[in-house]
Structure 1
Amino acid sequence: MLQLPKSPPRMKTLVSVDESYQLCRHITEKYAKTFYLGTLLMSAAKRRAIWAIYAWCRRTDELVDGPASALTTPETLDLWEQHLESIFAGHPLENFDVALLDTLQRYPIDIQPFRDMIAGQRMDLYRSRYETFEELYLYCYRVAGTVGLMSTAVMGLDTTTNTAPWHQHKQPYIPTEEAIALGIAMQLNNILRDVGEDARRGRIYIPLEDLARFNYTEQDFFKGVVDDRWRSLMRFQIDRAHQFYTKAEQGITYLAPDARWPVWTASMLYGQILGVIERNNYDVFSQRAYVPQWKKLRALPLAWMRSQVL
């Protein structure tokens, strides 16, 4: 269980900045292969920063979904938030923190999205159902939309559109809502991909109002029933995810030019998972949808072209 000292900790020897970034790279490559591929298209500085952010997010998620999650309590998350505040105050406590602190010093990242993500993990401690999509949206924002906000600060904005004299005092558009939409789209992706795994944990992330809309029951869900009702329900969920992807992609053009290709790539690769679910006849109970590496690589040229013209 996570434990933090009650008094300010004495300095202990931690790894170097470069070593810490390597730790973050390893955890990103191991647990987020599609996401990791997108980071390789970024500049060295930006990719390292994204690795540091991902590593923190992964460690946060592990508190409620990892091997020791049964030991996690609200107090555990309180301590984790104190740990976060220590990093933002310039006092890393663990080896992974060294890279995140360096990232915070390089990019204008606000602490609130990190706090919001911890609030999302709190929801997983006491909720295993969501009645409406509005309730699920809040959860998705907290555990994934926040990542969009963290990442946008690293990606940077395109300032070249405001170089004309009459635009000199015009602030560049910040695609905040679009960044949140991309995170939510990816989380909806994860929910649909992980239906079987979540069912075995007794969790239903698809809104109960949607199950009722298609006359599909919780008993059907836990039995893994795949019939016309389920397929119609899944098509409805996939259409919703696509709507968020569409909204997110409208904001990519406002990002710094060197960030557009990796963001387009991440969006397209995650979207491919939805296509695999469809080709699997919507059976996400006994099959886990994944995109082969060769198909991921095949998407890169199209993502690059979109980054240049859209």
Structure 2
Amino acid sequence: MVLADRAIGRLPLPTLAEAFEACRRETAEWAKTFYLGTLLMPPAKRRAIWAIYVWCRRTDELMDSPEAQQRSTAELAARLDAWEQRTRALFHGEVRDGLDLVMRDTIERFPQPLQPYLDMIEGMRMDLTTTRYASFEQLRLYCYRVAGTVGLMTQEVMGLDSAYTSAPWSDPPDTSEAAVALGIANQLTNILRDVGEDRGRGRIYLPQDELQRFGYSEEQLLAGVINDQWRALMRFQLQRAREWFTRSEMGVRWLAPDARWPVWASLRLYRGILDVIERHDYDVFNRRAYVPRRGKLLDLPFSFLIAQAR
């Protein structure tokens, strides 16, 4: 590990324990459903997941924080370039702050490739110039970059069940496709939940050709019109998101036993947001869809039973 030169007057690096605690607090504050799932993991794995989550959040904030909204496209592009350089340096052992410290620990404990991190930064670059998506094929690439990559970042932390890897003749299963599918499913859920919020930032993620197919205009979306055409469009979108969740389920059974329960819990709870959107009659303009804490706690035993059966 290489400690980068630190500016005069800058605070010293925190201890590793302090840096992980900061990640835990941030995850608990900003990703409540996700955080609940991490608490079901062994300490080493949950800490690694918190570190990765905060790295992803920092990457997202380069584009979507209130402060970022005040910057020009050129300034945002420069920030992303600098973040990419810093990320490459991190994977070569350079540590500048507490987040770097926990990420280095995570990378050393759970070796993983750099590419998914670079792909996520590329997804942020898409938001610099793209505010509309002509088709789902274009949207799927975006979803992979900003969320499917998270599945690749975390799959080494989750690990594989030794039952599939211990024998000399074992051919370890490839969970990458399922990991990416879960990330895409989560991002599609985010998009459907945040339609109202995103329109305020001038972004429409629902594919343009599908708006046309269901006879619902961009002008109606910007005005928050809820009619039969909107409901039909949203039913179609929710069904597709559920299909991506189903694809992801195929890989959960390969995971290490101490990872299956938290992954199932996170999957089921996040998919539950789609059910809430339905119960709200597809009103994502005036009501935010979320699974209440009581519902989360009640679902945990079901997720546990499913994890034991798979």
TM-score range, shorter chain: over 0.9
Deviations 1:192-224 (A, max 9, x none): 000110011111001111101101110011000
Aligned position for 1:301 = 301
* Structure 1: distance between partners of 2:97 and 2:195: 34
Q: Calculate the TM-score normalised by the size of structure 2.
A: 0.94
Aligned position for 1:191 = 191
Aligned position for 1:3 = none
1:108 equivalent to 2:111? Answer yes
8 Å contact kept, 1:83–1:93: no
Point out 4+ residue stretches in structure 1 off by more than 4 angstroms.
none
1:128 equivalent to 2:131? Answer yes
Map residues 189-268 of structure 1 onto 2, 5 A cutoff.
Answer: 189-268=189-268
8 Å contact kept, 2:119–2:145: yes
8 Å contact kept, 2:131–2:202: yes
What's the offset of the Cα at 1:279?
A: 0.2
2:91 to 88, 91, 109: 88
* Structure 2: distance between partners of 1:271 and 1:293: 15
Q: Calculate the TM-score normalised by the size of structure 1.
A: 0.94
Aligned position for 2:181 = 181
What's the offset of the Cα at 1:253?
A: 0.4
Q: Which runs of 5+ in 1 are unaligned?
A: 1-7
* Structure 2: distance between partners of 1:198 and 1:162: 44
Aligned position for 1:5 = none
* Structure 2: distance between partners of 1:102 and 1:211: 45
What's the offset of the Cα at 1:275?
A: 0.3
Alignment: residue pair count: 300
Query: Which secondary structure state, in structure 1, belongs to the residue aligned with residue 192 of structure 2?
Result: helix
Deviations 1:231-259 (A, max 9, x none): 00000000000000001011100011110
- In structure 2, give the amino acid aligned to 1:80: W
* Structure 2: distance between partners of 1:144 and 1:41: 22
Question: Relative to structure 1, is the Cα distance of residues 84 and 162 closer, same or farther in structure 2, using a 3 angstrom cutoff?
Answer: closer
* Structure 2: distance between partners of 1:308 and 1:265: 12
What's the offset of the Cα at 1:171?
A: 2.3
* Structure 1: distance between partners of 2:203 and 2:60: 16
* Structure 2: distance between partners of 1:283 and 1:11: 49
Question: Relative to structure 1, is the Cα distance of residues 178 and 228 closer, same or farther in structure 2, using a 3 angstrom cutoff?
Answer: same
- Identity, in percent, stands at 53
Query: Which secondary structure state, in structure 2, belongs to the residue aligned with residue 128 of structure 1?
Result: coil
8 Å contact kept, 1:34–1:270: yes
Aligned position for 2:80 = 77
2:5 to 10, 13, 25: 10
Root-mean-square deviation (Å): 1.2
8 Å contact kept, 1:24–1:51: yes
Aligned position for 1:140 = 143
- In structure 1, give the amino acid aligned to 2:137: E
Deviations 1:253-273 (A, max 9, x none): 001111000000000000110
8 Å contact kept, 1:158–1:172: no
8 Å contact kept, 1:157–1:174: no
What's the offset of the Cα at 1:159?
A: 2.3
What's the offset of the Cα at 1:24?
A: 0.8
Aligned position for 2:120 = 117
* Structure 1: distance between partners of 2:208 and 2:287: 22
* Structure 2: distance between partners of 1:10 and 1:186: 38
- In structure 2, give the amino acid aligned to 1:196: G
What's the offset of the Cα at 1:9?
A: 4.4
Question: Relative to structure 1, is the Cα distance of residues 201 and 162 closer, same or farther in structure 2, using a 3 angstrom cutoff?
Answer: closer
Q: Which runs of 5+ in 2 are unaligned?
A: none
8 Å contact kept, 1:159–1:172: no
8 Å contact kept, 1:113–1:147: yes
Stretch moving more, 43-52 or 168-177: 168-177
Map residues 43-58 of structure 1 onto 2, 5 A cutoff.
Answer: 43-58=42-57
8 Å contact kept, 1:136–1:207: yes
* Structure 2: distance between partners of 1:211 and 1:291: 27
What's the offset of the Cα at 1:162?
A: 4.7
Query: Which secondary structure state, in structure 1, belongs to the residue aligned with residue 286 of structure 2?
Result: coil
* Structure 1: distance between partners of 2:219 and 2:288: 21
* Structure 2: distance between partners of 1:130 and 1:285: 20
* Structure 1: distance between partners of 2:35 and 2:282: 26
